[in-house]
A and B are shown apart, each in its own frame.
Chain A
Amino acid sequence: SQQGEEDPQALSIQEGENATMNCSYKTSINNLQWYRQNSGRGLVHLILIRSNEREKHSGRLRVTLDTSKKSSSLLITASRAADTASYFCATDARGSNYKLTFGKGTLLTVNP
Chain B
Amino acid sequence: DTAVSQTPKYLVTQMGNDKSIKCEQNLGHDTMYWYKQDSKKFLKIMFSYNNKELIINETVPNRFSPKSPDKAHLNLHINSLELGDSAVYFCASSQVATGTTEAFFGQGTRLTVV
Residues of A in contact with B (beta carbons under 8 Å apart): 30-31, 33, 35, 37, 40-45, 48, 86, 88, 90, 92, 97-102, 104-105
Contact = CB atoms under 8 A, between A and B. Distances in A.
B62 interface: no
A42 B88 CA distance: 10
Contacts, number: 61
Interface string B13-28: 0000000000000000
Interface size class of B (residues with CB under 8 A): 20 to 34
A31 B102 CA distance: 10
B101 interface: yes
Given A42-B108, A43-B90, A98-B50, A48 B102 contact: yes
B66 interface: no
B64 interface: no
Contact of B42 (A44, A97, A104): A104
Given A33-B101, A98-B48, A99-B48, A41 B41 contact: no
Contacts of A33: 101-103
Interface string B38-57: 00111111001010000110
